[in-house]
Structure 1
Amino acid sequence: MHSAAVALLDKGDGFATTAELLAVMTRKELRVQIRNGGLVRVWYGVYAASAPDLRGRLAALDLFIRQHAVACMGTAAALYGFDVENTSQVHVLDPGVRMRPTTGLMVHQRVGAPLQRVDGRLATAPAWTAVEVARQLRRPRALATLDAALHVNACSRVQLESAVREQKGRRGIVQVRGLLPYADGRAESAMESEARLVMIDYGLPMPELQYEIVGLDGTVYRVDFAWPKQRVVAEYESVDWHAGRLEMIRDKKRYAGVQEVNWTLVPITADDVRWEPWRLADRLRHHLSRSAAAS
C-alpha cells in the first residue's frame, strides 16, 4: 500500500477519510488502492486497510458522522454479548445529523431510550435492548434473546420487567410480556431456548436446566434438560455434533456414562424443534410417562 496512506491510517486508528487520503495521493492512486484491495471502504468516504470488526465499523461511523454513534438493537446486543441473531447490519440511534440508512447501516428513532456505556461506547441499556430486539422476533428467538441477556448477566429479570413496562403499547410487547416468566439465564444456547419453548407450548413438565449427574466412576456429567424424578434427560445436538473423531468419542462416553446410572437420554435436533415439535413433545412425554410408571 501507499506508504503515506499507511502512515495516515496508523495515525487515524486504522481509518481515514477520502479527503485525508487525497491529501497524500492522487484520486487515480486512491482508485487503484481500492480496486487492488489495499483499501476497503467501510462507509461512504471512510476507508480502512481491511474489513473491520463491529467495534471498528462503529469507530469508522464516528469518523463519518463526526460524533460518537450510539448503538441500539442487535448492535447493542452484540456489544453486551447476547446477540443470538448474529446481526450483520450496524444499528444506531439517529445522531441528529443528515444520515440515511445505507447498505449495512440502519438508523433508528428511539426518543427516551435509556443509555448505558459498554466498552467506552454509549448504547441503549441492556434490558431495554433485549426487550426491543425480542419484540421484533418470532417467539422462539425472542425467548432465546431474553435467556441470553440473563445468561451473560447483562441485566436482571427485574430490569427486563421494567423495560417491558417502559415499552408498553409497542408492537410485539404482548408476546415478550408473555415469554418473560419463562426466561432463564441457565440456557446456554439459542436452540436450547427454542427446545424449551416446545416443552412449554406442549404442556410438558418443566425440566431442570444444566443438571449435573454423577457417573459410576464419579465423573460429573452436565446435561441440557433433566427430569430427576423420572430419571429422563434430553440433550440438544447441534450441527457441529460429532464434528470430529475426538468429539464423537467424547460424546459417546458421556452418553454412556449417563445411561450407566439408569437415566434415559433423549436426543434433540434442530429439525425436531423447528419442523416436528409435536413429535418431540410426544417423544418426551412417552419417556416421562414410562419412567414414572416404572418407578
Structure 2
Amino acid sequence: MHEGLVALFERQGGVATAEQILAVVSRRNLEMLLESTTVERIWRGIYGFGAADTARKLRGLDLTCGETVVVCMATAAGLYGFDTEGDAALHVLNPIGHQLRPADGLVVHRREGAPMVMVSGRPATGPAWTAVEVARTLRRPRALATLDAALRSGQCNLSKLSRAVALQQGRRGIVKVRHLLPLVDGRAESPMESEARLVMIDGGLPMPVLQHEIVDARGRLRRLDFAWPDHRVAAEYDSGEWHVGANALRRDREKLAALQDLGWMVVPIVVDDVRRAPGLLVKRINAHLVARECA
C-alpha cells in the first residue's frame, strides 16, 4: 500500500476520510484497496485500514464529527463489562452542534442530564446511569440481569443505581427498574441465573442464597448457584456451554455425589425450565422444600 496512505492511517488511528485518501492515491487505487478489503468503508465517507472493529468505528465517528463522540447504552455497558445483551450496534450521543445521522449499525441518542466519565480515553455515560438506562429498555428478567451484572462488575453500587433511577424519573420503563432494585444481587454469575432467580421470586419461593459455599467430605469447596441451607436444597443452572464433554460430565457427577453425601437435594435447571415452564420449575423446587420441612 502507498506509504503516504499508510502514514495517514497511522496518524489517525486507522481511519481516514475519502477526501484525505484521494489526496494521496487515485480513485482507482482506492477501489482496488476496497476490493481486496485492505481498506474498508466504515461510515459514509469514512474508511478504515483493516477490520472495522468497535474502536475503529468509533474513531471514524470522531473524524466525522471533529470531536470525540460519547458512547452510551449497550456500547457503554460493554466498556464497563456488564453488557448482557450482546448488541452489536454502536450507541452514541449526538454531539452538540452536530447532526450525526443513524446508520446501519449505528444508533444515535439524545440524552439530557446523563453524567459523563472517561473510560480508556473515551467519554461515556456513567456506569450506574448506563445500567439503569439499558435496563429500562428490557423485559424484567433481562433488566434484572443487567442490573445484577452492573453490580457484579464493581463499576457501581446500589446507592448509585438508586440515584440513577431518581435522575431518570418519569422516563419509560423506570418504574419497572425501581421495583427491581430491591432484588439486585451482584453475586449472580450469569444473566440466566438472574432470570432463574426472578422466576423463583415471582413464584413465591423463599429467597435463595446465591453462590452458597460448603465444604464436602474430602475438604473440597463447593459452590451452589441457589441454595436454601436450612432445607439442604439447592438448584444449579446448567448452561450447556460449561457442561459439555467427558471431563465436564465427570466433574458434574463428582459434585452431585459429594452434595448427596452431605444430604443435599440438588435441582438441575436448564433454559427451558426458566423461559418455557417457570411454573413447573417453581413447583419442583417448592416440593423439595416442603418435603425437607416435613422430614
Same fold (TM over 0.5): yes
Q: Work out whether residues 128 and 160 of structure 1, in 8 Å CA contact, stay in contact via their aligned partners in 2.
A: yes
Q: Work out whether residues 16 and 46 of structure 1, in 8 Å CA contact, stay in contact via their aligned partners in 2.
A: yes
| Counterpart in the other structure of 2:36 | 36
Cα distance in structure 1, aligned partners of 2:156 and 2:212: 23
| Counterpart in the other structure of 2:231 | 230
Secondary structure in 2 aligned to 1:213?
strand
Q: Report matched runs for 1:1-295 at 5 Å.
A: 1-96=1-96, 97-294=98-295
- Identity percentage of aligned residues: 53
Q: Which amino acid aligns with 2:133?
A: E
Cα distance in structure 2, aligned partners of 1:77 and 1:150: 12
Deviations 1:244-289 (A, max 9, x none): 2222222222222222211111111111101110011011101111
Query: 5+ residue gaps in structure 1?
Result: none
Cα distance in structure 1, aligned partners of 2:18 and 2:187: 48
- The answer to which of 261-270 and 28-37 deviates more is 28-37
Cα distance in structure 2, aligned partners of 1:273 and 1:118: 35
Q: Work out whether residues 215 and 257 of structure 1, in 8 Å CA contact, stay in contact via their aligned partners in 2.
A: yes
Q: Which amino acid aligns with 2:192?
A: M
Query: 5+ residue gaps in structure 2?
Result: none
Deviation at 1:40, TM superposition (A): 1.4
TM-score (norm 2): 0.95
TM-score (norm 1): 0.95
Secondary structure in 2 aligned to 1:92?
strand
The 1:47–1:245 alpha-carbon spacing in structure 2 relative to 1, beyond 3 Å, is farther
Cα distance in structure 1, aligned partners of 2:292 and 2:282: 15
Q: Work out whether residues 150 and 185 of structure 1, in 8 Å CA contact, stay in contact via their aligned partners in 2.
A: yes
Q: Work out whether residues 241 and 248 of structure 1, in 8 Å CA contact, stay in contact via their aligned partners in 2.
A: no
Cα distance in structure 1, aligned partners of 2:246 and 2:7: 48
- The answer to which of 58-67 and 97-106 deviates more is 58-67
Instruction: Tell me how many residue pairs correspond in the alignment.
Output: 294
Deviations 1:61-87 (A, max 9, x none): 211211000011111111111110112
Deviation at 1:108, TM superposition (A): 0.8
Q: Work out whether residues 191 and 270 of structure 1, in 8 Å CA contact, stay in contact via their aligned partners in 2.
A: yes
Deviations 1:151-200 (A, max 9, x none): 00111101111111111111111111111100001111100000000011
Q: Work out whether residues 13 and 56 of structure 2, in 8 Å CA contact, stay in contact via their aligned partners in 1.
A: no
Deviation at 1:51, TM superposition (A): 2.4
Q: Work out whether residues 162 and 181 of structure 2, in 8 Å CA contact, stay in contact via their aligned partners in 1.
A: yes
Cα distance in structure 1, aligned partners of 2:237 and 2:42: 38
Cα distance in structure 2, aligned partners of 1:61 and 1:33: 21
Cα distance in structure 2, aligned partners of 1:233 and 1:245: 24
Cα distance in structure 1, aligned partners of 2:146 and 2:242: 23
